[in-house]
Chain A
Amino acid sequence: MSKDNQLLEELTSREYEHGWNVALETDSAPKGLNEDIVKFISERKNEPEWMLEWRLKAFRLWSKMTEPKWPNVTYPAINYQDIIYYSAPKQSAKPKNLEDVDPELIKTFEKLGISLTEQKRLTGVAVDAVIDSVSVATTFKEKLGELGIIFCSFSEAVREHPELIKKYLGSVVPMSDNYFAALNSAVFSDGSFCYIPKGVRCPMELSTYFRINAANTGQFERTLIVAEEGSYVSYLEGCTAPMRDENQLHAAVVEIYAMKDSHVKYSTVQNWYPGDKEGKGGIYNFVTKRALCAGDNSKVSWTQVETGSAITWKYPSCVLKGDNSSGEFYSVAVTNNMQQADTGTKMIHIGKNTKSRIVSKGISAGKSQNSYRGQVHIMKRAEGSRNFSQCDSLLMGDQCGAHTFPYIDVENSSSKVEHEATTSKIGEDQIFYCQQRGIDEESAVALIVNGYAKEVLNQLPMEFAVEAQKLLALTLEGSVG
């Protein structure tokens, strides 16, 4: 057996680190989806009438839509009537501050490595934590409030800032956008809302942690970020879920609205439970993420490190409407065992002299399938626009697959599009070279993979880059951790 194959064998024995669940009492909706369930969710969240109407409209739209079949993934049909659409950890009353939060919940987050109290004191990262369907606690609120920054759970925003939600909800991802966006619009449970006022540079990283805890539960969070003229914010999202035999559905929507001269950086470290090595269980991750660079000179950067989920279907995109606006997409997607990922981006150039940059690094191991799917569309009036795309694939072993589906559409002659793609294998030569210098095989793989993904990891905020590096090594190795 060659060394690559031996390595491969070891890789498949790695276990998911976040595979525990906490005995939280939950308040859940009955299984299934109909108008009553939508009403139930809206009621539980004390929503105003207009919100319920919006949800019902989305539900009616969704009922007439069909699930997309074009992604390069296969999975058994999802029974949408067999899912619980709302699950909330039971609390006697809405917590006023951290002291009122259920200690079990705090423990959950500590296990995840997000101690809310510690975070609050030490790191200067404001965290909104969402477990199952409900946002549990948001730290650092007061300090942000002084700058006029709103960072709160989505439910709270619906109650406290209805004028902003009415204006921007669905403005970037309309409810009719796609099957999963419509589903999310009907049943979204919670998520984060973030508003940066004109000219304000958010002084800390804003961060949301999502976790699915209850069984048979779908999670449908909604994130909305509005960056006013000349503002800046860096936002990070992390996700985990316990190990379960059945598949769980996750269909989130993220909308970013960027005004003139604003800059939004959105980073994701996605580590949902990927299923076991036979492909049993795991999260189905169907996510719609889109940014609208509405104003001139606005800029949005997506950075994602995708290591989890049984199935990933996700294309964080930028609509470059403002002149001179720019969009970036940096992605590392790792698949191992039976995981399937179909991920990439869309860059829609509408404004003049708009720029986009795509750096996608796929890593496939085990029997996994990893696809990059990207669209670059330069419209007629987007004169002088530029795109650079680089799509690299790294294969480990000979049982996995890497696929690239680039779509390029240019409607004027003054724009420039570049596309580079490479496919490589971690070679025995590379591993032996490391070993000959005293580096063991596992560290060698980690070193090589991190080197390969470096350009993307460099885009992450420092503390998360370290976390992401470890996560990459963990995903690909047998005995570490």
Chain B
Amino acid sequence: MLSIKNLQAKIGDKQILNGINLEVKPGEVHAIMGPNGSGKSTLASVLAGREEFEVTGGEVVYNGKDLLEFSPEDRAREGVFLAFQYPVEIPGVSTINFMKTAVNQIRKYRGQETLDAVSFLGLMKEKMKLVEIDQSLLNRSLNEGFSGGEKKRNEIFQMAMLEPKLSILDETDSGLDIDALKIVAGGVNKLRSSNNSTIVVTHYQRLLEYIVPDFVHVLYKGKIVKSGGKELALELEAKGYDWIKDEVAVA
């Protein structure tokens, strides 16, 4: 699915990623954890193609293709989805209208016929049920005046609509209370299959109680310094990040 080799990136003059290596196979869930400023969100942005980050080295192979060669929209059309930490507001554009534009542009790219209003509505109803979202929310301007929980739930709804192969959840738990967290995690779990993969970027172990990862990686100073199973997350929760920093310092 995804193979990252020695990925380096900077913003302005500041080097943030210092050689990331990561292999993600179909059906796997990987958690990327780490202290603030370690480069977690940068990694998510670089994979999605955000232009303010400059890739200075390394490679990213996605389903046999050079991901870094694709424009951001083509990455999305190839099946890469980023659930934003801070979903953006677009006044006057409903989620429905937004998703209809997105779904049809993706379908066109893939050589599929675009959906008419009726088929689109059918698909939407099905996904709404799956992620337990209310249509009234989808009629409103995208993310405008949404609560934190509504924004994140809307992200997961969009993920359900676009059926990505690789989903990257960037700090999806931030700003959520426990009930909202459960609903969002429930949606993500329903969308898991043996064909798609998920990268969960998070600071806390809490989310991983609900979205159980196959692998946990600790990112520190732009490098993955430790990898393990889901128990690594618990260890981090118990000990904090300092012992990792100490370990790195000793090495």
Residues of A within 8 A of B (CB): 2-3, 427-430, 432-441, 443, 447-448, 450-455
C-alpha spacing A220/B72, complex, angstroms:
49
Given contacts A437-B98, A439-B105, whether A432 and B92 have CB atoms under 8 Å apart is: no
Given contacts A437-B76, A439-B105, A441-B73, whether A454 and B98 have CB atoms under 8 Å apart is: no
Is A438 in contact with B162, judged by CB distance below 8 angstroms? yes
- The residues of B that contact A428 with a CB separation of less than 8 Å are 51-52
- The residues of B that contact A3 with a CB separation of less than 8 Å are 51
Is B77 in contact with A438, judged by CB distance below 8 angstroms? yes
Is B82 in contact with A436, judged by CB distance below 8 angstroms? yes
C-alpha spacing A441/B106, complex, angstroms:
14
Output the least CB separation between A442 and chain B (Å).
10
- The residues of A that contact B158 with a CB separation of less than 8 Å are 437
**Contact indicator per residue, chain B 93-111, by CB within 8 Å of chain A (1) or not (0):** 1000111011101100100
A-B contact pairs, 12 of them (CB 8 A): A432-B50, A432-B51, A432-B72, A434-B98, A435-B72, A436-B73, A437-B162, A439-B101, A441-B73, A448-B93, A450-B92, A455-B92
Is B92 in contact with A453, judged by CB distance below 8 angstroms? yes
**Contact indicator per residue, chain B 182-217, by CB within 8 Å of chain A (1) or not (0):** 000000000000000000000000000000000000
C-alpha spacing A116/B198, complex, angstroms:
58
- The residues of A that contact B41 with a CB separation of less than 8 Å are none
C-alpha spacing A170/B88, complex, angstroms:
51
Select one of B87, B92, B106 contacting A438, CB under 8 A. B106
Q: Assuming A436-B81, A440-B105, A447-B101, what are 10 further A-B pairs, CB within 8 angstroms?
A: A2-B52, A430-B88, A433-B84, A434-B98, A434-B102, A437-B76, A438-B106, A440-B73, A452-B92, A455-B92
Given contacts A429-B88, A451-B92, A454-B92, whether A438 and B105 have CB atoms under 8 Å apart is: yes
C-alpha spacing A428/B51, complex, angstroms:
10
Is B90 in contact with A443, judged by CB distance below 8 angstroms? no
B48 at interface by CB-CB < 8 Å:
yes
C-alpha spacing A202/B75, complex, angstroms:
52
Mark out the residues of chain B between 46 and 103 whose CB falls within 8 Å of any chain A CB in the assembled complex: 48-52, 71-73, 75-77, 81-82, 84, 87-93, 97-99, 101-103
B114 at interface by CB-CB < 8 Å:
no
Residue on B with the closest CB to A454?
A: B92
C-alpha spacing A147/B208, complex, angstroms:
72
Chain B residue total in the interface (Cβ 8 A) = 33
Residue on A with the closest CB to B82?
A: A436
Q: Which 3 A-B pairs have the closest CB atoms?
A: A451-B92, A451-B93, A454-B92
Output the least CB separation between B67 and chain A (Å).
13
Is B93 in contact with A436, judged by CB distance below 8 angstroms? no
C-alpha spacing A430/B92, complex, angstroms:
13
Is A447 in contact with B73, judged by CB distance below 8 angstroms? no
**Contact indicator per residue, chain B 101-126, by CB within 8 Å of chain A (1) or not (0):** 11101100100000000000000000
Output the least CB separation between B163 and chain A (Å).
12
Is B90 in contact with A430, judged by CB distance below 8 angstroms? yes
B21 at interface by CB-CB < 8 Å:
no
- The residues of A that contact B38 with a CB separation of less than 8 Å are none
B141 at interface by CB-CB < 8 Å:
yes
C-alpha spacing A2/B82, complex, angstroms:
22
Is B92 in contact with A437, judged by CB distance below 8 angstroms? no
C-alpha spacing A62/B85, complex, angstroms:
63
Residue on B with the closest CB to A455?
A: B92
- The residues of A that contact B49 with a CB separation of less than 8 Å are 435-436
Output the least CB separation between A251 and chain B (Å).
34
C-alpha spacing A433/B103, complex, angstroms:
14
- The residues of A that contact B101 with a CB separation of less than 8 Å are 439, 443, 447
C-alpha spacing A455/B93, complex, angstroms:
11
Select one of A2, A432, A438 contacting B102, CB under 8 A. A438
Output the least CB separation between B140 and chain A (Å).
12
C-alpha spacing A441/B103, complex, angstroms:
15
C-alpha spacing A455/B98, complex, angstroms:
17
Output the least CB separation between A404 and chain B (Å).
18
Is A439 in contact with B90, judged by CB distance below 8 angstroms? no
Output the least CB separation between B108 and chain A (Å).
9
Residue on A with the closest CB to B110?
A: A438
- The residues of A that contact B92 with a CB separation of less than 8 Å are 450-455
Output the least CB separation between A47 and chain B (Å).
48
- The residues of A that contact B109 with a CB separation of less than 8 Å are 438
